[in-house]
Amino acid sequence: MSIVTSLTASAMAWYCGEARERARHARAESERSRRGLPHRIEFFHEAGEPHSELMRVALARIRARHEVEIIEHPVGPPADWATSEPALRSDWARIDAERLAQRAGLTLSLPAAPEGGAPRASDADLAAGAARRSRLGHFLSGVAWYGNDWYASMDRLHFLDNRLTRLGTRRAADQTPAPWREPPFDAGVPLRERHAPSTSALGERKEPTTGTQSAAPGVKLHFYLSFRSPYTAVAAPRVVDLARRYGAQLELRYLLPMVMRKLPVPRQKALAFVRDAAREARYHGIPFGRIADPVGRPVERGYALIPWARAEGRGTDYVLAFLDGVWARGIDAGSDRGLRQIVERAGLSWALGRKELSNPGWRTEAASNARELSSLGLWGVPCFRVGDQVTWGQDRLWFVEEALLDAASRASPSGGSALR
């Protein structure tokens, strides 16, 4: 590992590490207390946008549970540079938000069309909201800011709820249910808690499942991934564990990173996602933070070895080793020394593997995977498919698990469905 790679990895580990997060929180609380301010959440709301509307409903539950003040800033759609495939994003947001609302037992009211029927703030108010959000360092709608940290979706509100509870804001007589539902299946339980009784974020006791579950014979779990995606790195150990426990056949469907497919990924967006992914990794007990960005040549070299590793029966081991290497260990996969470490950690021979680096066959497979993902109405990773059930995001493995249970139930004599 070069000095530059090592220093960069160390800097990234500090940037997205827990110690820095705690320091940010402590500074914010010290300043709030010194100035005698209330516990104030700032919410950036885009009228009619599904996830934004769902976040608004969920934050109302937070306000009912805690002595907090919520300031709502109206904002418009994200700028073109901040999003990819806006038409696909709009369609998917509606599907995903409705699933989340149903799962959490929340009522989500949306206009018939994304642009129809939603009240519009003045241009001045929208500009002011966007400016405030930009000063704080974000670019999307439906996000909440509290005490030097972002909570970018309803899936992150358990972090905010826990933080507020530690600060003593919980209303003494409150019986308001949490604005999220505890995962009914193991996919939402951190791997470190998988095989022992645990306590959830809200204090409820959870009894995890052990052993291998039953799935329909031959069921396939398609895992659309990118070696440059921090969320792929957070998802991979968990989806591999999920496939193993349900006896599903894991299909590795790798795609070029969005930036290598000419889709915009500005630095601000990349860094925000890395910080968020780091918090998710800590929650799930997955090593993360010493990062050696694999964009470009490292990704291409890494992908070139997937078909060979798969043929050797080590495809999954290799993918896990690569992701762990570049996202947790700061290994430079663009160098022979670094890639050799990854290959050998996967139980493969570097002498054989290096001969496959010039094999261009992976490009055809990666392009085919990208076309298939697009045909499903999606464009980013990680995504997952079981039969015709599709979802996107490392925080949607509960849906994947339900799809696997559904496949198993349809193969059983009763033929029931676990999907809801």
Please give the residue that has the higher pLDDT: either 288 or 103: 288
pLDDT digits (tens, 9 = 90+) for 374-405: 999 999 999 999 999 999 999 999 999 999 99
User: Which pLDDT score, from 0 to 100, does residue 18 have?
Assistant: 97
**Is the torsion defined by CA of 372, 373, 374, 375 positive or negative?**
positive
Q: Where are the CATH 3.40.30.10 domain residues in the chain?
A: 38-166, 220-411
45 within 8 A of 78, measured Cβ to Cβ: no
Per-residue pLDDT tens over the stretch 63-82: 999 999 999 999 999 987 77
pLDDT value at 299 more than 80: yes
Of 115 and 361, the structure prediction assigns the larger pLDDT to 361
Amino acid at 386: V
- Model confidence at 201: pLDDT above 90: no
AA identity, residue 345: R
Environment class of 10 (CB within 10 Å of its CB; exposed 0-12, middle 13-18, buried 19+): middle
> Is the pLDDT score of 266 beyond 80?
no
Tell me which fold the domain 220-411 belongs to: Glutaredoxin (3.40.30)
Rounded to whole angstroms, the Cα distance separating 344 from 351 reads 10
pLDDT at site 183? 45
pLDDT at 198: 33
Give the per-residue pLDDT at 222.
98
Structure tokens at 323: 């992701």
The pLDDT mean for the chain works out to: 88
- pLDDT of res. 210: 47
Q: Can you tell me the mean pLDDT for 221-245?
A: 97
- Homologous superfamily, domain 38-166: Glutaredoxin (3.40.30.10)
pLDDT for res 327: 99
CA distance 153 to 351: 46
Q: Using alpha carbons, select from 246, 251, 229, 227 the residue that is nearest to residue 187.
A: 246
**Which tens digits make up the pLDDT trace of 333-344?**
999 999 999 999
d(C-alpha 97, C-alpha 104), whole Å = 10
Q: What is the pLDDT of residue 119?
A: 62
Is 0.85 surpassed by the pTM of this model?
Answer: yes
